[in-house]
């Protein structure tokens, strides 16, 4: 057998004849790989699984819920009211901040489950032909060039270029959103064919609805199409929405307004009304605390969470 080729984009295999794919991968259409050939390929290409997501620890995720200008103002107000022994206002402000943080923490935790859902699409077991014999192996041990046997009910364990099909229909809804099973074929398709039109390829994570087939592994793990989706999900950064930007601007403006108003009130009370220093200070603090919309962060977060859940129940969002 020929040695395994260099890594090749999985989107190119559907445009090659089945015989050409087998030759390039140094495999055999009936005997599959030898065990001796599969071992070094596993070390070279890695396990057939998606990399675990990079997660922020619970402590960091919770701490980041307080990273907001308006929250800073609320915490400062809570510290001042606590110092003035106004325990009721302190409890209200701290309670609002904690509720807002808990809701944000829970919602972010749900969002991080997206990548785990993608990783769960990969099959756990696979039937392969090695050394001319069928073996049931851990799907993580599959390597490019392996000959995989597909039967009704199987989850496709890796991206396969199909070599043999018998009434093979595969449900690709998890990958393409196509509601009906797709009939597969051996004849190659155009190089420009979209994922849903690659009828000679069985993609990892899809399910055989009926029929049988055999295919040669052309991509494993993160190199599969479902692996590309996992990489995209893992690479999604924090999105700054128009509403988020407006809230940040509002927080900065109201903070500046409160500081200016407090300074003016303090100056007027001290130099014009000739009030005692402690009395005017307490009045200014009370004015500042009253001007802070401590319920705004919680109201916005709760409203958005309820709206998103309502849309999800109506299948408007996934």
**Mean pLDDT of successive 10-residue segments in the chain (318 residues)?**
43 84 91 92 90 71 77 78 78 82 74 61 84 92 95 93 95 85 94 90 93 94 84 62 78 83 88 84 76 69 76 73
The pLDDT value recorded for residue 8 is 40
What pLDDT score was predicted for residue 71? 78
- What are φ and ψ of residue 218, in 5° steps? -115, -15
pTM over 0.75: no
The pLDDT of residue 235: 59
The sign one gets for the Cα dihedral 198, 204, 208, 209 is: negative
Confidence (pLDDT) at 2: 44
Which distant-in-sequence residues (6+ apart) come within 8 Å of 304 by Cβ?
243
Q: What is the 3-state secondary structure (H, E, C) of the chain?
A: CCCCCCCCCHHHHHHCCHHHHHHHCCCCCCCCECHHHHHHHHHHHCCCCCCCCCCCCHHHHHHHCCCCHHHHHHHHHHHHHHHCCCHHHHHHHHHHHHHHHHHHHHHHHHHCHHHHHHHCCCCCEEEEEECCEEEEEEHHHCCCCCEEEECCCCECCCEEEEEEEEEEEEECHHHHCCCCCEECCCCCCCCCCCHHHCCCEECCCCEEEEEEEEEEEEECHHHCHHHHHHHHHHCCCCCCCHHHHHHHHHHHHHHHHHHHHHHHHHHHHHHHCCCCHHHHHHHHHHHHHHHCCCCHHHHHHHHHHHHHHHHHHCCCCC
Structure tokens at 33: 């790989």
Q: What is the pLDDT of residue 58?
A: 76
User: What is the structure's pLDDT at 97?
Assistant: 81
- Are 146 and 21 spatial neighbours (Cβ–Cβ below 8 Å)? no
Q: What is the pLDDT of residue 316?
A: 75
Q: How far apart are CA 38 and CA 217, in angstroms?
A: 12
| Residues contacting 101, CB < 8 A, separation 6+ | 62, 65, 66
Q: Calculate Rg over the CA atoms of the chain.
A: 30
Q: Which of 67, 69, 57, 66 is nearest to 109 (CA)?
A: 57
Distance CA 61, CA 106 (A): 10
* Residue 173: Cβ-neighbour burial (10 angstroms; 0-12, 13-18, 19+): middle
User: Is residue 123 within 8 Å of 15, Cβ to Cβ?
Assistant: no
């Amino acid at each position: 057998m020929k040695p395994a080729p260099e890594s090749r984009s999985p989107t190119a295999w559907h445009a090659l004849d089945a015989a050409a794919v087998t030759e390039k991968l140094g495999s055999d259409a009936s005997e599959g790989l030898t065990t001796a050939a599969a071992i070094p390929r596993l070390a070279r290409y890695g396990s057939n699984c998606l990399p675990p997501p990079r997660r922020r620890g619970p402590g960091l995720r919770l701490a980041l819920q307080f990273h907001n200008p308006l929250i800073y103002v609320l915490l400062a107000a809570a510290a001042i009211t606590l110092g003035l022994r106004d325990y009721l206002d302190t409890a209200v402000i701290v309670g609002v901040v904690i509720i807002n943080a808990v809701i944000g923490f829970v919602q972010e935790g749900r969002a991080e489950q997206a990548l785990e859902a993608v990783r769960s699409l990969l099959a756990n077991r696979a039937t392969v032909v090695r050394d001319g014999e069928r073996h049931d192996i851990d799907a993580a041990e599959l390597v490019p060039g392996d000959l995989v046997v597909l039967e009704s009910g199987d989850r496709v364990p890796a991206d396969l270029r199909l070599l043999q099909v018998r009434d093979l229909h595969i449900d690709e809804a998890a990958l393409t959103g196509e509601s009906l099973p797709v009939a597969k074929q051996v004849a190659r398709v155009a190089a420009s064919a979209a994922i849903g039109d690659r009828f000679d390829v069985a993609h990892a994570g899809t399910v055989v609805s009926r029929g049988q087939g055999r295919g040669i592994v052309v991509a494993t793990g993160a190199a599969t199409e479902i692996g590309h989706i996992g990489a995209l999900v893992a690479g999604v950064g924090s999105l700054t929405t128009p509403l988020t930007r407006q809230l940040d601007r509002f927080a900065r403006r109201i903070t500046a307004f409160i500081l200016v108003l407090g300074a003016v009130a303090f100056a007027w009370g001290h130099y014009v009304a000739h009030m005692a220093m402690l009395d005017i200070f307490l009045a200014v603090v009370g004015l500042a605390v009253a001007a802070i919309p401590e319920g705004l962060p919680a109201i916005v977060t709760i409203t958005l969470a309820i709206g998103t859940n309502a849309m999800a129940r109506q299948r408007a969002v996934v």
